[in-house]
A and B are shown apart, each in its own frame.
Chain A
Amino acid sequence: GAVVSQHPSWVICKSGTSVKIECRSLDFQATTMFWYRQFPKQSLMLMATSNEGSKATYEQGVEKDKFLINHASLTLSTLTVTSAHPEDSSFYICSAQGQYNEQFFGPGTRLTVL
């Protein structure tokens, strides 16, 4: 149980385009999901907390207009990187919160912006 999927697993896009990443909890409902960025050989950096039915809470320094988060159902949260630029290239990871505050992580999405 407690499986989280992400789609796509990797994406390459041109600078200026928008990319949507989906995060799904497959066998449980998650009121709260999280979005992280992970740079090579570094730890995860929390970008935002996504709550079902309400606006996401963004960490300091994360542009909410650039990284749009929608958590429309208890099993799906989406992250849209708008007008992507090469510096947005990264590994994006989502997680879904379990009943004891633990987090179950998705496999990640590697974004490359050309």
Chain B
Amino acid sequence: AQSVSQHNHHVILSEAASLELGCNYSYGGTVNLFWYVQYPGQHLQLLLKYFSGDPLVKGIKGFEAEFIKSKFSFNLRKPSVQWSDTAEYFCAVTAYNNNDMRFGAGTRLTVKP
């Protein structure tokens, strides 16, 4: 079964700093990749997803992620974070022909105003 690793548990940035959150997965076959965000007190929302095609995926709120197959990675980036980006970010993966979604442990992002 697939698994997901998020190496950064807690990231603290100042506003306008650039963000990159790491996500690595382990699975030998074709995968679908996702980033979800959970704002304080709210439910999970889909930021972006990758299924096929251009490995650079753009999502909502200025986020993007790049799928690098050779590195089994799907890192999330944002060039300039805002205080409102403070949230928990989860990377997730499903195998191409499987419903099972596996989540990483999550990365808590704190943006200082």
Contacts and interface: CB of A to CB of B under 8 A. Distances in A.
Q: Do A and B bind each other?
A: yes
Q: How large is the interface on A (under 10, 10 to 19, 20 to 34, 35 or more residues)?
A: 20 to 34
B46 A104 contact: yes
A101 B100 CA distance: 9
Given A43-B90, A97-B99, A102 B105 contact: no
B49 A100 contact: yes
Given A95-B101, A101-B32, A102-B46, 19 more contacts: A32-B99, A43-B103, A43-B105, A43-B106, A46-B100, A46-B101, A46-B102, A97-B99, A100-B49, A100-B51, A101-B99, A102-B32, A102-B49, A103-B34, A103-B46, A104-B46, A105-B44, A105-B45, A106-B43
Q: How large is the interface on B (under 10, 10 to 19, 20 to 34, 35 or more residues)?
A: 20 to 34
Contact of B100 (A41, A44, A49): A49
Q: Summarize A's interface: helix, strand, loop or mixed.
A: strand
Interface in B48-106: 49, 51, 90, 94, 99-106
A44 B34 contact: no
Contacts of A95: 44, 101
Interface string A82-93: 000000000001
